[in-house]
Structure 1
Amino acid sequence: MHTCPCCSTRLLRHARHNTIYWYCPRCREEMPDLELMLLTRSQVFQTRGDWLSSRKQNSRVLINVPA
């Protein structure tokens, strides 16, 4: 469920110019989709973490360091 980060009211989904945005009826403002931002951010960090772990494994193989 999408809630306003300012007042915790349930956001209303609106469409404008072929895009979706979230509107808070209490604040009377357009609000960001924080759930989507957090999901996207966690996917980026997960991908980065996978990349770092593979780099560590590759560097151990190149240097011949036992695990």
Structure 2
Amino acid sequence: MSKKQKLNTRSSTEAELVGADDTVQQLLWTRLFMESQGYRMDTVLKQDNKSTIQLENNGKDSSTSRT
């Protein structure tokens, strides 16, 4: 899915992180709604930006002063 972000970002890593954050909210809401209806949901959010994946997994420890 593609849509315009509401926030200006300075790097592709930051843009991917903002996009993932925006998507996770709707993903979790949809998953909880479907599970309350009796459907089992396996949800996976795929990420293709290596530096964003490291930042999501390790937090600030994997970032530099520019991030």
Q: Say whether the fold is shared (TM-score over 0.5).
A: no
Normalized per residue, which structure has more strand? 1
Higher relative contact order (CA 8 A, sep 6+): 2
Q: Which TM-score applies when normalising by structure 1?
A: 0.37
Q: Which TM-score applies when normalising by structure 2?
A: 0.37
Which structure has the bigger radius of gyration?
Answer: 1
